[in-house]
Amino acid sequence: MPSKKLKKRKNISSPIDPQSIKGKRIDYPIFCFKHLKLTFNREYKYYYKFIERIQKLSTLSWNQINRESKHGYGFEKMPLNQIRKDMPPFITPDVQHLQVFRATGDNRVFLGLRKENIFHVIFMEEQFGDIYNHGSK
């Protein structure tokens, strides 16, 4: 049986433009998990609530998120020197803080870095206080 030659595929250039889709300007968060540092304790209810939370955040514009309180759907800034975990190489020396969102409606958080419309999730706090001391800023 003669062998079939496989056609060489062309490389596909850049995925999506973080500023627009099909020419329409977007202003909502796109969540990226490429740099997430995993620390799972298998509390599945936490992850279910987290997915619900990011789905809700995805329906808001960045302007709406900026007007929300940190205990609602808004965020606060956390200086890197207050974070107990090692930073991934993705975090360059010019980065001074990460953005902190509430992950589940309680005080557990997820932290990341916003670059344009993309929010790179880096840490998820399954156990309260694992990422930083909540009692001090």
pLDDT tens digits along 18-58: 555 555 677 899 999 999 987 767 778 888 999 999 999 99
The pLDDT > 70 percentage for the chain reads: 80
Neighbours of 130 (CB within 10 A): 15
What confidence tens digit (pLDDT) does each residue in 114-128 have?
A: 999 999 999 998 888
Q: What confidence score (pLDDT) does residue 12 get?
A: 45
- State the pLDDT at residue 19: 56
- The owner of tokens 């007007």 is 67
Residue 2's pLDDT is what? 53
Task: Look at the chain and count its residues.
Answer: 137
124 — phi, psi (to 5°)? -125, 130
Q: pLDDT confidence of 74, banded at 50, 70, 90?
A: very high
| 3-state SS, one letter per residue, for the chain | CCCCCCCCCCCCCCCCCCCEECCEECCCCEEECCCCCCCCCCCHHHHHHHHHHHHHHHCCCHHHHHHCCCCCCCEEEEEHHHECCCCCCCCCCCCCEEEEEECCCCCCEEEEEEECCEEEEEEECCCCCCCECCCCC
Average pLDDT of span 93-116: 92
Phi-psi region of 129 (alpha: psi -120 to 50; beta: other; left: phi over 0): left
State the pLDDT at residue 87: 92
